[in-house]
Amino acid sequence: MRSVFWRPSAYTASGQVTGDAARWCVDQALYGLGGVLAALPGAHYVNHPWRIRDAEHKPAQFAAAVRCGLRVPRTTITSDGAAARRMAVEHGPVVYKPLWNTRYAASDGQAPSIWVAEVTPGEIGDSVAATAHLFQHRVDKVADVRGTAVDERLWAVRIDGSPGLDWRRFYDQLSYTLIDTPPDVVKAIGAYQGARIC
C-alpha cells in the first residue's frame, strides 16, 4: 500500500454488542486499523493517523494557529458559569461549540449533533460546572470558507446559502464556489501544516 487517505469518522460496533462492550470493540478496531495504517513503510498519508490524533485538541489547535499567523477569535474554555457569563458580557456575542465529538449517545442509542450556537449570558447556567465548555466570540460573516491543503497546494471553497450560524445543518441549501486564497493565509496554513500541534 503506497497511499492512505485517513479521515476519522464515527465508528460503530456490530449490532451483536452494546454498551461498554460496543465502545471497547470500537476502540480496539480503531487502534488496530489506525496502528496498521500508521506503520506502513514509505506510505504517503493524507493525513497520518498520529497527526490527526495529535491535532484533535482544540486548545492546542488554536495556540498553533496563532503561532502560525492565523487569527483566532477570543476564546474561553471553562467550567465556571460566572467566567462564561463574564466572557459573554465582555466579549459578546459569543457562540458555544463542543471541544470534541465524543461517542456520546442518547438513551435511544443515537448520537446527537451539537451545533455551533450563539448563547447569551442568561442562557449560560451553573450546569457549566459539570465539565469544560468552549465559548468563543462570534465573528460576523457573509459566508463560510473551508480550505483543504495537501502538501503545497491549497483549495478554498466559499459556502453560501446557510440560513443559520452552523452551515453543517443545512447541506441541502448550500452552494459552493472555488475561490482564491489570500497569500498571507496560504503562508499561515502552510506553517500550520508543518507545526507541531502538541
Instruction: For the chain, give every domain's residue range.
Output: 3-54, 74-137, 144-194
Query: Does the pLDDT value for residue 41 go beyond 80?
Result: yes
Fold of the domain built from segment(s) 74-137? Dna Ligase; domain 1 (3.30.1490)
Q: How confident is the model at residue 9 (pLDDT cuts 50, 70, 90)?
A: low
Cα 92 from Cα 10, distance rounded (Å): 33
Q: Is pTM, for the whole model, over 0.85? A: no
Mean confidence (pLDDT) of the chain: 88
